[in-house]
Chains A and B, each alone.
Chain A
């Protein structure tokens, strides 16, 4: 028995050693390169970025985000950098894991970055807030939950680019009001995003006189939501709201079709990746969700103020990576754009960057950002359009 224990402990040490040594190496090299360059040219602007690039449930978020950031860094540096300073972004993979996110944030702080972009998930964002606040480095999260930037007094250095989940709920409830639907069933994923959405759905229901007749959940690894949907059906719901960001959300429309439930299905803005619609196949037809305009850029009227930017990002992304652009990549685009704007204006002092972000007012992929000391998200319900799935593609749902 003793022998076995020794083996286990040795194995554990080996694993820790291997995983540590792997990650340290490239960074050291980059730091060395920087030191050499410092003597020759203006010093680099160093930014940290971390996303859920791999990992079971969030890689559809993190991958486009990483791609977007890498693409932007290349574009900026090819155009001569920011006021002659080269932009260097250190990338870390959180794997969607909160403790890894905290580790990465600490690493960035140790490296002396002037701003941090990411992480992808709401849970990870909440986990890194204390660390980043203490280090007084501005962080622009790419995650949706409103609680990331509220209350703003305790989130002095925290900003975020995705639209607020409360605004998404308002958009859906507003539409339900117009349609005269009051009884809804909600089904949410048990992730940070899903839990935050569930909270908002319940909090705002009273304001919009919505009656939640069934409140169900599913885990990201779940494979079948029939039981939950049967309960919603029996509770007499007139519409279903499915709030989740993981691939499992595509099973809900499939199961609804199997159960021959013909009440409308609303999804959250977490549905904003055409892959999710494709996974659900036929069953996705007619799903409605509030989404950023990036998904429907081509359908926007020509003088829409967001259109040129959206089209450029979409074309750049799709030609570079040969895959559809998603709103998640857009969130990273906006986040890095905010940092670049600030670097251009005030240089790389974290405190000055923070102050500058609170004054920014510009069009990004997410909408018209108007940051103020009271609003660290800068978007409102107008950042969303109601989008539907029609013939396997996202379409703007006409004004309502």
Chain B
């Protein structure tokens, strides 16, 4: 079959669409991983952090008319505060924190936060202005939104920040120590409870950023959290739970598979195709693409 210009620009269009979708899954997956690494728990309220990020940004920029960078900063701070509160009030107070108990608590918090969002922001979808122009520009026949570039740029920036933080700062190293062996970390004097709190703050912050950058494209409403959390969780599992490089790779891969599925096969089966891919990965390599099967045997799940 001859490849025409049209085919190429379609391919490019689908790839960009996939990366844009996938970046959000990747950010949600990274949020899952941070908390998973420090507590061994899947935080099902992760999607709510994304929703709160988006909605808070809408309030600050659209109603209070703050400039984007200022609003960005305060929104992330606000959501990080929610993350810290969540950890202090619900996770930290549990006397014998088994994984199952904590997971159920996070589900409860997720439903609670969803309800609060519904009451405070209403049930409507909210729109947010694009960071720069909302006019698309053309790259080899594919139409690309400036916002897509923002999303990709911020994802790269966060990924770099992530690597620097966990490899070169004391706090980052302490958090890694806790995730490798909590008891040993305590023995050398690391305050593991504080590390858990920081991990919630970080993961909430990343969730908030995901929410802020995606809202101009998808509109935000209080109920979006669950779906975002499920897709992000999928990306985290496919990439190997706890592995952040894996999360980014798997998130974008799932996004692109969805876009290709919708574009080349059928939009009726878009979600099915992505889920089918996840199942295949888990059958072939249950610890995820980047996960180590040795390590996963030692974890509770």
Q: Do they bind each other?
A: yes
A residues touching B (Cβ–Cβ < 8 Å)?
4, 7-8, 11, 54, 56-57, 59-60, 63, 190, 216-219, 221-224, 226-228, 230-231, 234, 247, 250-251, 257-260, 275, 278-279, 281
Of the listed stretches B97-105, B159-167, B183-191, B236-244, chain A binds B97-105
Verify A54–B123 contact, CB threshold 8 A: yes
Cβ of B66 under 8 Å from chain A: no
Verify B267–A63 contact, CB threshold 8 A: no
Interface centre among A224, A226, A230, by most chain B C-beta atoms within 10 angstroms, is: A226
What distance in Å separates the Cβ of B277 from its nearest Cβ neighbour in chain A? 16
Task: Name B16's closest neighbour in chain A (CB-CB).
Answer: A226
Interface centre among A7, A59, A251, by most chain B C-beta atoms within 10 angstroms, is: A59
Verify A227–B262 contact, CB threshold 8 A: yes
Verify B145–A258 contact, CB threshold 8 A: yes
Verify B10–A218 contact, CB threshold 8 A: no
Contacts of B145 in A (CB 8 A): 258
What distance in Å separates the Cβ of A255 from its nearest Cβ neighbour in chain B? 9
Given A4-B100, A221-B227, A230-B14: A279 touches B218 (CB 8 Å cut-off): no
* Chain A at the B interface: SS class: helix
A to B CB contacts below 8 Å, 27 in the list: A4-B100, A7-B104, A8-B104, A11-B104, A56-B223, A60-B124, A216-B267, A217-B267, A218-B267, A219-B271, A221-B227, A223-B214, A223-B217, A224-B21, A224-B217, A226-B17, A227-B17, A228-B262, A228-B267, A230-B10, A230-B13, A247-B125, A250-B125, A257-B136, A260-B143, A279-B125, A281-B127
**Beta-carbon contacts of B194-228 to A below 8 Å, as 1s and 0s?**
00000000000000000000100111010110010
Give me 19 other A-B pairs in contact (C-beta within 8 A), A227-B13, A230-B13, A260-B143 excluded: A8-B100, A8-B104, A56-B223, A219-B270, A224-B217, A227-B262, A227-B267, A230-B14, A230-B263, A231-B262, A231-B263, A251-B218, A257-B136, A258-B143, A259-B13, A260-B136, A275-B125, A279-B127, A279-B219
Q: How large is the interface on B (under 10, 10 to 19, 20 to 34, 35 or more residues)?
A: 20 to 34
Contacts of B268 in A (CB 8 A): 190, 217
CB-CB nearest 3 A-B residue pairs: A227-B262, A223-B218, A56-B223
Verify A227–B124 contact, CB threshold 8 A: no
Task: Name B262's closest neighbour in chain A (CB-CB).
Answer: A227
B76-113 interface (Cβ within 8 A of A): 98, 100-101, 104
Verify B143–A259 contact, CB threshold 8 A: yes
Task: Name A247's closest neighbour in chain B (CB-CB).
Answer: B125
What distance in Å separates the Cβ of B275 from its nearest Cβ neighbour in chain A? 12
Contacts of B39 in A (CB 8 A): none
Cβ of B26 under 8 Å from chain A: no
Cβ of B171 under 8 Å from chain A: no
Cβ of B33 under 8 Å from chain A: no
Pick the residue among B10, B100, B136, B221 that contacts A234 (CB under 8 A): B10
Interface centre among B145, B217, B259, by most chain A C-beta atoms within 10 angstroms, is: B217
Contacts of A7 in B (CB 8 A): 100-101, 104
Task: Name B9's closest neighbour in chain A (CB-CB).
Answer: A230
What distance in Å separates the Cβ of A2 from its nearest Cβ neighbour in chain B? 12
Provide the bound-state CA to CA distance between A221 and B220, in Å. Answer: 11
Contacts of A230 in B (CB 8 A): 10, 13-14, 263
Task: Name A11's closest neighbour in chain B (CB-CB).
Answer: B104
Cβ of B20 under 8 Å from chain A: yes
What distance in Å separates the Cβ of A258 from its nearest Cβ neighbour in chain B? 5
Contacts of B13 in A (CB 8 A): 226-227, 230, 259
Verify B98–A227 contact, CB threshold 8 A: no
Contacts of A8 in B (CB 8 A): 100, 104
Contacts of B169 in A (CB 8 A): none
Provide the bound-state CA to CA distance between A226 and B21, in Å. Answer: 11
Contacts of B125 in A (CB 8 A): 247, 250, 275, 279
Provide the bound-state CA to CA distance between A56 and B21, in Å. Answer: 21
Given A59-B123, A223-B218: A4 touches B98 (CB 8 Å cut-off): yes
Provide the bound-state CA to CA distance between A66 and B136, in Å. Answer: 41
Provide the bound-state CA to CA distance between A329 and B21, in Å. Answer: 35
Contacts of A247 in B (CB 8 A): 124-125, 219, 221
What distance in Å separates the Cβ of A4 from its nearest Cβ neighbour in chain B? 5
Contacts of A275 in B (CB 8 A): 124-125
